[in-house]
Structure 1
Amino acid sequence: MDTSALLINVMLYLFLPLWGIAGFADWCCHRATKIEITSGIKESLMHSLMGIQMGIPIILCLLYDVNVLILLICIITWISHEIVAHCDVRYAAPQREISIWEMHAHTYLGSLPLYMLISIIVINWAEFQQLITFNWAGNMSLTLVSEPHGTSSYLPAYLTFMALLCVFPYVEENLRCLKAHFKKGI
């Protein structure tokens, strides 16, 4: 197995699932600290935004060949995710307890996207060189991958896994926070 295939498998079967598990652990911590009555809907919406920020490049890299356009999206969404993560903790820290378990979850939620971005750059080094040398002509389109990453059932299985561990719990968190927000009459 060549290095690129090995890195792809590490991302598919280690980094991506760990990111989902860390997201679920983070949600459990929010629930335990009653986010709906402490930091509320504003923090909950930041969590959803960060999930979307990382979900977009993940889906794009799973469905399309990585080129300059995909790399730009990956880098921009990673930077914006880091900015929102900083704002999230800055907003939440004075309003509710951030437990040691939540800090550990944040370690994974912050580092895994960086590891994945670096891995994508290493795997697609020629495209990265085109990006940094502004050789973008012909590299700004979306081309579906010829063969799915992992197995043909990987993407549906991963999307189901993420829906169960992250999407549904964070939708529930948003609804719980929204209900508490309206209950306060604010």
Structure 2
Amino acid sequence: MTAVLLQQVLLWGLLPLWLLAGFGDWLCHRAYRIEHDAGTRESLLHWLMLLEMGPALAAALLLEVTAAVLVLLFVLCLAHELTTWWDLSYAASRRRIPPVEQWVHALQLSLPWAGLVSLALIHHGQTLALLGDGVPDWSLRPKQHPLPMAYLWGVAAGGVLLAALPFAEETLRCRHAAAVRHAQRLRLREVARGGR
């Protein structure tokens, strides 16, 4: 009963909240106009984090949660954590990170770990096996009882609408701002040369 309840919290609470936190992060970046300070490099770090969490989400939704999947999720969550550290270190040196954005970041950091811990509890047999109490299952195979297709398509649509498209817009915005700054520098050089 607890495992079923935890699964429902994951599917209908934690995952939608995580997608909304990603959208909230994009809204913060847009409002604070990161294209004028941290720019394209910060935006590319956001893509790296999406590329780390996308496969983790796909594995959790599509594969049977075995020891192999738990280890994969742990490695991807750790990579995401390290990339977030890199991203925040870079951004903080170039711009102010207001409290609301810090709060959104806290959600983005904690929710993947909460998801992993929840899956480890639901699939406690494989978790214990990883800790030496039993035989770990190192296979990667589709879920024996797949999630409903409507739910999977809903998550995919949410990921595209709340993460992929907004961050694509952010990258384009940052690249455009960089191109404008480059053109302005070239014009200034030409004016400086003409004044000699």
Other structure's SS at 1:62 match: helix
Other structure's SS at 2:97 match: coil
More displaced stretch, 175-184 vs 107-116: 175-184
Note the C-alpha offset of 1:183.
3.6
Name the structure 2 match of 1:93. 92
Name the structure 2 match of 1:157. 154
Other structure's SS at 1:18 match: helix
Residue 61 (str. 1) matches residue 60 (str. 2):
yes
| Structure 2: distance between partners of 1:126 and 1:175 | 46
Query: CA offsets, 1:95-143, max 9 Å, x none?
Result: 1121111011011101111110100110111111222329666x22221
Q: 2:165 aligns with which of 159, 168, 171?
A: 168
Give the TM-score, by structure 2 length. 0.87
Residue 43 (str. 1) matches residue 42 (str. 2):
yes
| Structure 1: distance between partners of 2:135 and 2:47 | 32
Name the structure 1 match of 2:3. 4
CA contact 1:33–1:96 (8 Å) conserved in 2: no
Q: 1:140 aligns with which of 138, 142, 160?
A: 138
Residue-pair matches, total: 183
Other structure's SS at 1:153 match: helix
Within 5 Å, which residues of 2 pair with 1:10-21? 10-21=9-20
Higher Rg of the two aligned structures: 2
Residue 179 (str. 1) matches residue 176 (str. 2):
yes
Residue 34 (str. 1) matches residue 33 (str. 2):
yes
Query: CA offsets, 1:138-161, max 9 Å, x none?
Result: x22221112223x33100011101
| Residue segments in structure 1 that go unaligned for 5+ positions in a row | none
| Structure 2: distance between partners of 1:78 and 1:44 | 19
State the identity %. 35
Query: CA offsets, 1:9-46, max 9 Å, x none?
Result: 10110100000111111101111111112101111111
| Structure 2: distance between partners of 1:62 and 1:20 | 14
Query: CA offsets, 1:68-107, max 9 Å, x none?
Result: 1111110001111111111111110121121111011011
| Structure 2: distance between partners of 1:38 and 1:176 | 12
Change (3 A) 1:97 1:49: same
Which structure has more relative contact order (CA 8 Å, sep 6+)? It is 1
CA contact 1:23–1:166 (8 Å) conserved in 2: yes
| Residue segments in structure 2 that go unaligned for 5+ positions in a row | 186-196
RMSD over aligned Cα atoms: 1.8
Runs of 4+ with deviation above 3 angstroms:
134-137, 182-186
| Structure 2: distance between partners of 1:180 and 1:100 | 25
Give the TM-score, by structure 1 length. 0.91
| Structure 2: distance between partners of 1:128 and 1:181 | 47
